[in-house]
Amino acid sequence: TKPCAGFVKLSGLLLATLFSWYLGYFLSALVSEEVLSASITNLQDIGKKPVIRAPAPKRQKCDHWSPCAPGSYAYRVLSGGGKEKLAKICFEDELLISEAKGNVGRGINIAIVNYTSNQLCIAFTDHSAEMVAFIENAPQGSLLFMVTHDDGSTRLKNDAKQVVEKLGSKEIKNMKFRSSWAFVAAKGFKLPDNIQKEKINHSDKNNRYGGWPAEIQIEGCIPRNLI
């Protein structure tokens, strides 16, 4: 079976909504505080109730603190934490893998996105030989997001490590029992050097989860013009 047979396309509606948030952000940024307070004074002067309310805090795609530049994709990959917090993979504000979607599994979770069309491809959760086939079958021009929940090391074999290393991972060979690990890679093109691509944190019996993994994350913006 083809790994990308079940593509789901981001709907135009969703994109339009995201775009209008973005526009709202810029419009409100254009109205400086001086203009705001000046217009409040004016309104008070003519004896009318000011109608201007403080703008609601802007929520950015994938809960970033600041928005990605136009012409780039937002991503955030968050590993599981403790026993309760499940891993998440967010891309363009879509949760590809999450507890709510019910597709997080113990081990290494992988999501593949068609970089050109922004089509989302499957979630996969296992760490056996299937993982090698899954990664090798990912088409050229894909983004691959990977993240651990609970333990991703025990069933991780050398061939799988090599495949992930070939995608640019420097940490896959350092995975230990219940290490947290988050990784993004591109197949068939190169990601910029200056974006977050990989993090690992080894479990520690003295951590706040008593030896369960501590959550780690990578996030950033991927330009859309790399191919």
Ligand X SMILES: *[C@@H]1O[C@H](CO)[C@@H](O)[C@H](O)[C@H]1NC(C)=O
Q: Rounded to whole angstroms, how far apart are CA atoms 136 and 76?
A: 23
The footprint of ligand X on residues 208-227 (CB under 6 A) is 208, 214
Determine the 3-state secondary structure of 99 from DSSP.
Answer: coil
Q: Rounded to whole angstroms, how far apart are CA atoms 96 and 199?
A: 19
Nearer of residues 67 and 149 to ligand X, judged by Cβ? 149
Rounded to a whole number of angstroms, the minimum distance from the CB of residue 117 to ligand X is: 3
Which of 82, 105, 139, 168 lies at the binding interface for ligand X (CB under 6 A)?
Answer: 139
Per CB under 6 A, 196 contacts ligand X: no
The footprint of ligand X on residues 156-195 (CB under 6 A) is none
The footprint of ligand X on residues 92-121 (CB under 6 A) is 114, 116-117, 119
> How many positions of this chain bind ligand X (CB under 6 A)?
10
Which range in 41-49, 189-197, 200-208, 217-225 contacts ligand X by CB under 6 A?
A: 200-208
The footprint of ligand X on residues 119-138 (CB under 6 A) is 119
Yes or no: say if 153 and 125 are a contact pair by the CB < 8 Å rule. Answer: no
Sequence letter at residue 140 = Q
DSSP assignment, residue 81? B
For the record, the structure tokens of 162 come out as: 């090599």
Which range in 103-111, 150-158, 170-178, 201-209 contacts ligand X by CB under 6 A?
A: 201-209
Yes or no: say if 191 and 223 are a contact pair by the CB < 8 Å rule. Answer: no
Of 102, 153, 100, 99, the residue nearest 131 (C-alpha)? 153
Nearer of residues 49 and 208 to ligand X, judged by Cβ? 208
Task: Report the residue count for the chain.
Answer: 227
Q: Rounded to whole angstroms, how far apart are CA atoms 146 and 165?
A: 13
Nearer of residues 105 and 141 to ligand X, judged by Cβ? 141
Instruction: Describe the chain by its helix, strand, coil percentages, rounded to 5.
Output: 25, 25, 50
Rounded to a whole number of angstroms, the minimum distance from the CB of residue 166 to ligand X is: 19
Q: Which residues bind ligand X (CB under 6 A)?
A: 4, 114, 116-117, 119, 139, 201, 207-208, 214
